[in-house]
Structures are given as C-alpha cells and as structure tokens.
Chains A and B, each alone.
Chain A
Amino acid sequence: MTSLEKDPAGGTTTATRPILEARNVSLSFGSVRALRDVDVTVAAGEITALVGDNGAGKSTLVRCFSGVHKPQAGEILLDGEPVSFSTPEAARAAGIETVHQNLALVEDLTVWQNLFLNRELTRFGMLDRKRMRTEAQKMVAELAVNVPEVTARVRRLSGGQRQAVSICRAAGFSSRLVIMDEPTAALGVQETARVEQLILKLRDEGHAVLLISHNFDQVMRLSQQVWVMRAGRCVAGRRTDATTGQEIVGLITGAIPG
C-alpha cells in the first residue's frame, strides 16, 4: 500500500486512483502488430469502456489483462505493482475476472455448479453441495434481477439469465476488476436492460469494470471513462461526461485523429 501512495496517480487521465494500468504494452503475432505502445488505466469504482473497430486490438489487450496473452513489451500494473500473469488462473487469483463472450458456462451442469466451477467448496474432501447451493442462492439473489433457480441446468436458462450467471460468477469471490467482452451482444432489448442494471450494481458495490462494447449508447449510459483503440494503438481517452457519441465514432474511424 505504501508503494501505491508514492505512485503518481494524478498523472493519469482518470479521476480516481487506477486499479489496473497498462504502460507501453506491445504484442505482435508474427508480422501482425496487434498492440503498439498501449497506455490504458482502469479506475477503481468506475466502469471503463474500451471501444474500437473490429481488429483494433481490444480483445487482445483484454487477454493480456486476464492472463491469456503475455505482452512482449511494456508492463501491466495492478494497484501500482507490476504483475505478470502466466495463466488465466493467476489473473483470477489476483482478482481479475473475465466474463467471456462465449459465456464459458457448462450447459449440462446446474447454475450452482457453474458458479462454483473449479472453486468447489469441500468438506472432508467431499463436495459440500448444500453449502454451495445456499451460497449460490445468495450470490444470485444479490445481483440478478430475474433470478434463475440455482438448481436449474444452464441449458434451461435464457440468454439474459446465462449472462447474469456469468456475471455473478465474475462478481463473486471478491474479485476487484471484472472484464466484460460484449456482455449484451447476443441479448434482446429487455435482457440488455437487465444486464446493464447488473453492471451498474457491480460498480456500486465497488468492483472496477472494464467493458468492451460496440454499442455507443450503452457506453455513454454506463461508463465514466472511454478508451478508444485503432489499429493496435490506444488513440484517445475521454471522460464520458466530457465527450459525445459523435466524437467517439470519429476517434474510432480516424476522422478525428485523437
């Protein structure tokens, strides 16, 4: 914590202290330079949006945060401390949870089994099914608006309910940063609204959220900070209340150089 206080947090564009920071992060796949000197910060207690065209490098950057990829240059700081995640497990252990685009749920398992997947509670080496069910009930009831039955198999859930389960899983287990890759891409209007409420609730409970979205209205509605990526670079950062959807679009397409 002392090192954090020494850290010049005021030097970033975000208002509050950053929980996660990427400094000069670069990553190439062969001759493709997916990320070039990317600087991005994610503030605690805020929803930070990451926008950009397809192939701009958003997902690659996020995968560096969640331990899937390792940057070839630059560093990632968590609470001001340089970190290097060799596996997604390591990132999760450090409190960075990812809600995957493909949801990463096992359809034939129940909601509670999915919530506790690879984090099962045991008693004398045996699964403590009862306690997991009760805890799952609590996790779901606290967050979700349209509460799915925790004993139901995921196969039976609607798209919105599945997304709620994924978000619950990411929000539980005292995670500090929740990364969401297009959380409402496959959802209808009502379900999108419910998931957005869930994202806001997550922030209000103190989680930092990094949101990848193609929906500019959503970005303007939910986020406090927007980072714009173009061709592997982070071209601009704006406070959401100081920008417009039009400016963001301009930054994404390159009409505004940034």
Chain B
Amino acid sequence: MSTAATGTPAGTTALSKGSTPEPGDAPGRGRNPVVARLTDVGFWADWAALVGLVALVVVFTVLDPSFLSSGNVTGMLSASAALVILAVAQTFVVATAGIDLSIASVTTLGIVVLGQLYVADQPLWVCFVGAVLASLLAGLVNGLLVAKAKITDFVVTLGMLSAASGLALVLSDGQPVTVTEGFFFDISLDGPVEMVSWIVVIAVVVAVLAHVVLYHTRFGTHVLATGGSPEAATATGISTARVKVAVYAIAGLLAGIAAIIIVARLGSTPPAANTSYLLNSVAAVVLGGVSLFGGRASILGPVFGALLLTVLLNGLTTLGVSQYYQPLSVGVVVVAAAFLMRFQK
C-alpha cells in the first residue's frame, strides 16, 4: 500500500475511505467539507467507474509492478478501444430507456462483411464502408421495429442478436478470413504518441463526438427527454419515434466502427458472435452511472466503465488467474456497481 500511496495519492484516499464503513466515519462529517464529501455514499455512486478504475490499477500495480509497464498499458488501451465504442453506442440506446442486445452480433456482422469484401479483392475503403453500412442497416432495422412497429426493444434486439449472428455465419460459411493488410497493423500498433495507437485515437474521437452530440445538440437533449419522460417529450412536439430510430442507427454505426477496430487488432475476421462484448457494453454503461430507466446519461462514465472492465480482465490475466474466473469477476463487479447506484444523487 505504501508504494502505491506515493504513486497515486488520490487513489489511496479513495481506497482507504471507501473501505471504511459508513457509520464509523460519521464523526468526521461536518468537520471538513472534503471529508464530508468523501463520506457521502452518493459521491461514490456518481464516480463509481473512475474510483473503481483507480482502485483496480493500484491493487494490480501493488500485486505486480509490471502491470503499469508501457507494454501492458499500450496493450490495455488498444484492447479497450472496441469496448469503449460499443459502450458509447449502448449509452445512446439506454439513454432513451431502451437496450440493444444485438450490439455484439451486429459487430460480428460488420466483421464478416469486411472479411468477405476483403476476400473478394475489394479496395480497403470499400471493405470499411461495407462493414459500417451492414451494421448501420441492422441498427436501423432495430430502430424501425422498436419505434414504428412498436415491438418491445428487448424482443427486437434479441431477435436481431440471433438474426445478425446467423447472417454472419451464412455470409462467411463459418470461416474466418485472415487479413494481412499492412494498414491494419499500422493502426493497431502505431500511434501519434507513445502507448496510444491509432485505434485508441479513433475511440477517443468517437467518445468526444458522442459527448458533444449528447450535451451540445438539440438531438442530445431530445434523446434524454425521450428517455426521461416520453409523455413530456411528445407534448412538446418531439418525435420520440424518430429519436429512437436514430439511437439504434447510431448504435449500429458505432458497431460497424468497432468491427473495423476488432479486425485490425486480430488480423482476422472471426464469424462467431463475441457475446462478451454485449455483456461488457451493458456492464460499462451500468458502471458509468447511466440509468437503465433512461433520461440520465453521460459519456465519460461508460468510457471509464469500459476501461475498468478491460483493466480488470487484463489484471487477472497478468496475475495468472484462470480465464474461467473472468466472467465471474465481471458479474460481481457489475452487480456491486448496480447496488452502489441505488445511493446515487
């Protein structure tokens, strides 16, 4: 603990205060505004993802100092890129009180379309556009079925989960394509600065744009209004149906971008749906303090949530914990975070 304290003072305060039981700290309340704030459960709930991220980094570094080596940090950042983008995608849908269960399958569909176009000797940009369009189209279908056909989001996206992964298998005949394109190695291994690859830059750009859209455009306000109170949104003339179509389409579009990043990292196009992306995108959103009932959302929270999950899995791997424990640990962390959310301000 002492080595960590010099490294990240904020993290240690977080840890020691967080682990102290609430009532025991009561005398400190009112003595000092900082202490009062730190003893408020609501504060921890609001910043759960960031606090958890810092805490995990501290713990893993103490247990294995090579955890923060530049090689491992580079790897973790690159590994988090796709999940960050999918978490942002899920955030838009959840902000309207919906959920996109098909997000991982739609990503796989994008991956397969990219692979098939690549095998057909199409130029790289055609492969990219094809992947993004395929995912966007799937998202659009989700949106139209939810908003216009008025079928429950859960059922629509569950159907799309199956349909998109089935389509991916049909298109690829169940076979992955090996992509040996220099460009992919360049964007996943090189970057503008040390430890930051271009795919991380893409994820950052997506997150910044999403933040701007959510907080600085009329559309973003309408997304929050649609999730917060559909009646009020409708009464002021907002077309909640259009907003819903748009958020599912955005989720599809971002899934297509995530598909390109995943192919760049793997150098191949696995046709099997990676369901952990679905669970982890929802988990990142929950960790990020976004209300599953809609109306309350941030982009920064889910981004920290995605980083936390990546750090958790990476840390367990470097410690030599069996892979089989990883889903278990994600489950525990997410439920714990959801419990903490009950105290949110």
Contacts and interface: CB of A to CB of B under 8 A. Distances in A.
Contacts of B244: none
Contact of B221 (A87, A98, A105, A117): A117
Interface in B185-219: 212, 215-218
Contacts of A113: 221
B217 A127 contact: yes
Interface in A115-164: 117-120, 122, 125-127, 129
Given A106-B225, A108-B224, A109-B228, A117 B217 contact: no
Contacts, number: 67
A70 interface: no
B contact patch SS:
helix
Interface string B263-277: 000000000000000
Given A88-B237, A102-B231, A117-B232, A109 B221 contact: yes
Contacts of A117: 221, 225, 232-233, 236, 238
A118 B222 CA distance: 7
B216 A127 contact: yes
B211 to A, nearest CB: 12
B59 to A, nearest CB: 34
A23 interface: no
A251 to B, nearest CB: 31
A53 interface: no
A89 interface: yes
A197 B295 CA distance: 33
B218 A106 contact: no
A107 B295 contact: yes
Contacts of B225: 106, 109, 117-118
Nearest to A127: B216
B233 A106 contact: yes
Given A108-B296, A127-B217, A127-B218, A88 B228 contact: no
Nearest to B230: A106
Contacts of A126: 212, 216-217
A106 B237 contact: no
A218 B295 CA distance: 36
A258 B218 CA distance: 50
B235 A100 contact: yes
A92 interface: yes
Contact of A104 (B215, B222, B236): B236
B229 interface: yes
Most chain A beta carbons < 10 A, residue from B212, B215, B237: B237
B216 A88 contact: no
A89 B237 contact: yes
A114 B232 CA distance: 9
Nearest to B293: A108
A117 B232 CA distance: 9
A129 B216 contact: yes
Given A117-B232, A122-B218, 13 more contacts: A88-B237, A98-B235, A106-B229, A107-B229, A108-B291, A108-B295, A109-B221, A109-B295, A117-B221, A117-B225, A118-B236, A127-B215, A129-B216
20 contacts: A88-B235, A88-B237, A89-B237, A98-B235, A100-B235, A104-B235, A106-B224, A106-B232, A108-B228, A108-B291, A109-B295, A117-B225, A117-B233, A117-B238, A118-B218, A119-B236, A125-B217, A126-B217, A127-B215, A127-B217
Interface of B: 212, 215-218, 220-222, 224-225, 228-229, 231-233, 235-238, 291, 295-296
Closest 10 CB pairs of A and B: A104-B235, A108-B295, A89-B237, A106-B228, A104-B232, A118-B236, A108-B228, A106-B229, A117-B236, A120-B218
